[in-house]
Each structure stands twice: as structure tokens, then as C-alpha cells.
Structure 1
Amino acid sequence: MMVSFFDQFASPYLLGIPLIAVALTLPWMLFPTPPSRWMNNRLIAVQTWLINRFINQLMMPLNVGGHKWALLLTSLMLFLITVNMLGLLPYTFTPTTQLSLNLGLAVPLWLATVIIGMRNQPTVALGHLLPEGTPIPLIPVLIVIETISLFIRPLALGVRLTANLTAGHLLIQLIATAVFVLMPVMPTVAILTAAVLFLLTLLEVAVAMIQAYVFVLLLSLYLQENV
């Protein structure tokens, strides 16, 4: 029974083709594209307003050099939200529960921020490894600790997203299994458990959006240190 709970995190195959590729390309087909007319419909107007608000909130702490990342970070935000939300539907697969995919998103973007910092302002970028006013005996220890914390950032990004989504999916499946088991034996308890399952599903919808926002927000904070 416990093995079947974790089967939902295995990438499904159809005719030998991994369906994770379909799951990764599907979100781009769900967003409406603005027409060539002067006036947009309500859905596109709301979508444009939300995207503009997110860009303003995300780019506010950054200087002009970091504004070049607006399109990339916004696209990543929409992609993560859509994939996380689609994974809550029945008989679907959530690609962001795979640590390899999350690290594949986190490591290149984090490395790009580090390279930008080393290229544009190497003194400031290296200065983050040693806080100002550090006593001389603690300098080697702090440099090692700050270097480790620097290289652990992409791992923390990927593990945070994977762990939150995996834990939520497992909890939903466990409670749903309890509802099916208790229904013929204790219907009242099963109904109460189903109510808890509904509230947990709403919580997971919020978690899916919040974790996507946190992923992009932390990347913007890493970028802020290097531009």
C-alpha cells in the first residue's frame, strides 16, 4: 500500500514516451494570447493586470540592471503556478515533484546570478563571503561557512519546492484513502474526514501558488545581491 502512494511521483509513460514532456509544454497552451484588436476581453485584461502587478512588485527592489530579468522571472512564475495547480487535478502528474526538474531550474538561474555578480562587481560579490568587522581569527571559518551557504542556495530552492508539493500530495492521498475506507464502516467520520480533505485541498492550492512565488522571489533576491 505504501509503495502505491509514491507511485504518483513516478513519471508516467505512454508507448515508451515520457509524459513529463507533455506536462511541461501544456501550461503554455492554457494562457490566452492578446488579440490584434484595440480592446481586450475581460480575461486577458485581468491576466495583464495581474502580470503587471507581479512585475512591479518583483522588480521594485532591483536596480535598472536587474530589470532585464523581468520577462524570464515572470514566465517562470506563471509556469510554476500552472504546473503546480494542474498537478492537483485527478489523474495528473506534477513535474515539480521531481527534484531533478527543480534543480534543473534552480541551478542554472542561480549560477547566472553568481556569474553576473562576478563579472559586473567582483569586489562586492566576493565581499558577501566576509561580513564587515569580522574578527581576524574568525575570517577563515566565516569564509568557509559563507561559501557553503552560497553553494547550498540552489539545493535549498529545489528541495523546498519538491518537499512542499510532495508532502501535500501525500497527505491528500492518505486522507482520501481514509475517506474511502471509512465510508462503509463509519459514514459520519468519513464525511468529517472528507470536509478536512476539502479544506486541505484549498490549502494545497494556496501552497502551489505561494511556493511558485517564493521560488521566484528568492531568485530575485539572489539577483539583487549581484546587480
Structure 2
Amino acid sequence: MKRNIFEGSSGKMEPFIRSDQYHFLKQQLRHIVQTNALVNDREMVRTVQGLAMDKMKDVFHGLTDLQKRLLEGMTELEDRTDMEMFEARILPLVHPFEMPEEGEVRSLFPHLSRVKTPVLGTGVDRRDLTYVSWFDPGLDRKFIVTYREGVLTGMEGSFTYSGRKNMCVICREHEYVGLFVTDATAYKRKGNYVCKDSITCNRNITDQKHLHKFMDDIKR
């Protein structure tokens, strides 16, 4: 009989997983299940499982014993059904993105008088979001807002859609992108390619540090 991969991990648990960490876990789950399905060498399978655990330990810090046991269950996955069950188990433990209020958004961009607050489309799960982004046609500006260590921060700039795929500097995946450009100083403009579709971008993010680095670099 198949062992219960969630044995010992039940009980009330508060959210402790960021969106980018959740997407990282899903990436590792797919890799483990694909390896298990395609590779007959059990030593190779165990190696892949071990590497996934090592990567997980680099991503998560300060976990409780219960949280560790839950995440270690990823090495027990055998097939797609196991993977889907595991994903369903950890989804409620992902922190949802806290949508900023109108006053908070306006305070980030005091030089603009008519900043609109972002509105999420139907079917968007806030647990998928590391940041929110929207384009204001009235101002002809694209906005990017996120939290860094619990503090709301953001940037705005022009956005020119390229009409082709390239690597997004935020999610590090090849998607349809555009050039985001902002005024770093009164005399210097800086920019880079970011996803046209911010929801797709968010779902690709497995490490929020790329977003933070982009925001830091473009403001220098």
C-alpha cells in the first residue's frame, strides 16, 4: 500500500511560504516527478531528490520542525497525482499578496497627481503574486509595486512593447517583453526588458531577488 506522503504533517499551520518560494517548490516537484517517470536508475532518482532538498534548504530559513517535515515530503512523490496533492497541501500556506490601498500607492508616486490603484483581473490568485504591475494609459506610464521586508515600494516608467520574446529581467524566463525605462536621475534614463504580462511574469518567479536587483539597478 502506498505510504501517505503527508503523514505527520497535519494540523493547523499559518502561511509561511512566499509566492516565489511556492513557484520554486513547484519547479522542483515537476523535476522530481519527471525524473521518477523517465529514469530507472534509483540512485539517480535519489540524487535528484537530494539536490532538490539541498536547494530547498537554501531557499527556506528558520523553519519549524513541522514545516520541515511537510516540505521534506517532496522527496516521497512518485507521480503526477502525488505532485498535485502536494501542491494542494502547500497552497494554503502561501502568503497572499496584500493589495495596497489608494493612499499607499499615491504616496509612492507623489510627483504624479492622478495615479490609479491596480485592479486584479478575474481568476488571479494573490498567492501567485510577488508584485503588482499595471499600465495607466492616461499617464502613459507602467507601474511596478512590491513589498521589501514588509515595506511597500514601487517604480514607474515608460513601456514600449517589443512584439517578440526575450529574457525578462524580473522572472528570468523568455516571454513577450517590452522595454521599461525610467528616469534614474534628472539627466540619466535607465531601462531593461520586462514581461508584457505581469501575471505570467509573477507565475514564473522562483526568486524575488531578481526583481529587487532590477529595482535597485534602475534607480542608481
TM over 0.5: no
**Structure showing the higher strand proportion among its residues:** 2
TM-score between the two structures when normalised by the length of structure 2 = 0.26
Task: Work out which of the two has the higher radius of gyration on C-alpha atoms and give 1 or 2.
Answer: 1
Normalized per residue, which structure has more helix? 1
Give the TM-score normalised by structure 1: 0.26
Higher relative contact order by CA 8 Å / sep ≥ 6: 1 or 2?
Answer: 1
